[in-house]
Amino acid sequence: MWRALCGFVAAVGGRGAVRSHASRLPAGSLLGQEARADSPAGRKRSTTAMPEVNTDNLDEQQVQLLAEMCILIDENDKKIGADTKKNCHLNENIDKGLLHRAFSVFLFNTEDKLLLQQRSDAKITFPDCFTNTCCSHPLSTPLELEENNAHGVRRAAQRRLRAELGIPLEQVTPEEISYLTRIHYKARSDGIWGEHEIDYILFVRKNVTLNPDPNEIKSYCYVTQEELKQLLEKASKNEIKITPWFKLIAETFLFKWWDNLHNLNRFVDHEKIHRM
């Protein structure tokens, strides 16, 4: 589907780079018991019961990532503990209010084109959907828990830009990642898995080297504003699939920010959490 999508970009005059990758076939789970990192002294631990979910039909690499420890927060983004990525993304727990910290990176090249990705078929939530450059979670580790100027979240973004897109660490440093604001949203991927996050919105404007992991990214493409508007129109007609957070951000904020890439300071708001 993404090849057809990027063909559509080319048809409307896009000259952005387009690359496609073959996804790995789903494999059996190698994950046994959930790995739990020790909490810092005095930090609360999640007491959420682990629902029994069969992961045998899911991709091996993605299942292993379910053991990562996400940062649990309250609705004001205050840390209240840690729990596995698996627990944080089960609708059964989300329906009980489980909420975690996340981020969304929007990376532009020096021609002011936005890098989009299509999530691989192996992804557990929202597979095969296209979305912004990189979306993931800071982990409950000392480096990524640091809250001063969102240093922990920006370090996590640097880590995931390398893991997903193969961008060398030295090409995008935390200091080159701009933190604009936060959004709070909830969305179901299917009957089992979903998202419930306070999402830090991060911007980068830089030319980078790309070498994506096909287990994470099926394909990628740089787009202009006009090309993205036409892609969003196709998504509204169910001709392509798009992640819910990217849809919310694109419809609400993105083009205003995009128009002001060289003057983003006026949009920085670290106090408000946009409820969406």
Positions annotated as catalytic residues are 135, 197
* Rounded-to-integer distance, Cα 47 and Cα 82, Å: 10
How many residues in total does the chain contain? Answer: 276
Backbone phi and psi for residue 160, each to the nearest 5 degrees, phi listed first? -75, -30
Residue 193 is given by DSSP the state B
CB 242 within 8 A of CB 119: no
Q: Which residues touch 180 (CB under 8 Å, ≥6 apart)?
A: 201, 202, 203, 257, 264, 267, 268, 269
Classify burial at 214, counting beta carbons within 10 Å of its beta carbon; exposed 0-12, middle 13-18, buried 19 or more: middle
